[in-house]
Amino acid sequence: MTHCFDRFQNMAAWIGFLGLLAGIALFASWLPAMAARPVNFMLNWVAGGDHAPYFYAKKMGWYKAAGLDVHLIQGTGSNVAVRRVAAGVDQIGLGDFPTMLLADGKGAELIAVMATYANSPQGIYWLEGSGIKSVKDIVGRKIGNPSGDAARVMWPALAKKIGIPVHSVTWVNIGPAAKIAALKAGIIDATTDFYNGNYLYRRVFGENLRFLAWRDIGVNPYDNSIFVRASYEKRHRETVAKFVQVTQKAFATCVATPQPCIKALIAANSGLRYSDELDNWHDVERLMSTHSTQTVALGWFNPKRMTDTYRLVSRYLGVEKPFPITAAYTNQFLSKAYKMKPETLS
């Protein structure tokens, strides 16, 4: 009888022990979700093909697997993204690098941690028959774009480069979705937009469309970059590293096979057309690709080009309080395992 009782006690102990192990295992399975660090990622603009990798990484659970609870926030311009991250409203932002430099000159202390556009996407669109034969003919004309658009910030650099007065044009506040309609209606004479939006303009205007890429006349600073506050980078280095490397992985994956990425983008954002955003993405690949991003790492900042970018911004826009360019960017979070394909070099 005693023997049976001892066996019962041993069995009960084992059952209790196994239950404890199961409880520990269950608790451990909850830890990543419980410990996931909230990260607000402020986009530079409304979601489009160029943002597909972020939505793909989120859909695939890559950010979550890295312990990050990433919230993708629609943008309304680089100025807005820069201000929100500088104020601590959002932890990470995406925006025009020269705009970030100007903010740093005013004490924002932001650091770029990954380049998404190693080539400037900026361009000016106008129509044949508008009387504008070359970009110099834009003097006295109306240019439409949002008030927070990075092109307005960089306009002095372009104006001085082509030899026209900085204040020789009139800026008209036009929302992102209204640019083409305003141009077609003649409300504005020209608009600024990214190279990777070319397909939208071609569809509407066909052979009547005229376009000048800023980079083709020597205004080619680093552009869209992912950035954080310097104080955040110091306190949360692991978070920044995880976010950057998951994002690199997503970009590399989308370069190799873009279709699933575009589908993830469209699933998360109503109103987008698959063919449009795929065209957008293929243009983005050219903006991403340089010798450095092909041979060193996807998202890499070339030190010489960064110095040139700072000089351009300082010369044409004016940095309120000068600082060393090395304080405004870092390559330390980038993995060299991810590179651009050689055939995408622009």
Name 317's Cβ contacts closer than 8 Å, sequence gap at least 6.
98, 102, 153, 154, 156, 157
Local confidence band at 8 (pLDDT 50, 70, 90 cut-offs):
very low
Share of the chain above pLDDT 70, in %: 89
Model pLDDT for residues 211-262, shown as the tens digit of each residue: 999 988 888 899 999 999 999 999 999 999 999 999 999 999 999 999 999 9
Each residue's pLDDT tens digit, 253-283: 999 999 999 999 999 999 999 999 999 999 9
The token duo for 190 is: 């020209």
Sheet with 209-213, strands from edge to edge, namely 170-173, 142-145, 190-194, 122-127, 209-213
Q: Is 47's pLDDT higher than 70?
A: yes
Query: In this predicted model, what pLDDT tens digit does every residue of 19-37 receive, in sequence order?
Result: 544 454 444 444 444 578 9
Give per-residue pLDDT as tens, 59-108: 999 999 999 999 999 999 899 999 999 999 999 999 999 999 999 999 99
- Residue of 248, 262, 257, 242 lying closest to 56 (CA atoms): 262
On whether the pTM is more than 0.85, the answer is no
Indicate left, alpha or beta for 61 from its phi (over 0: left) and psi (-120 to 50: alpha). left
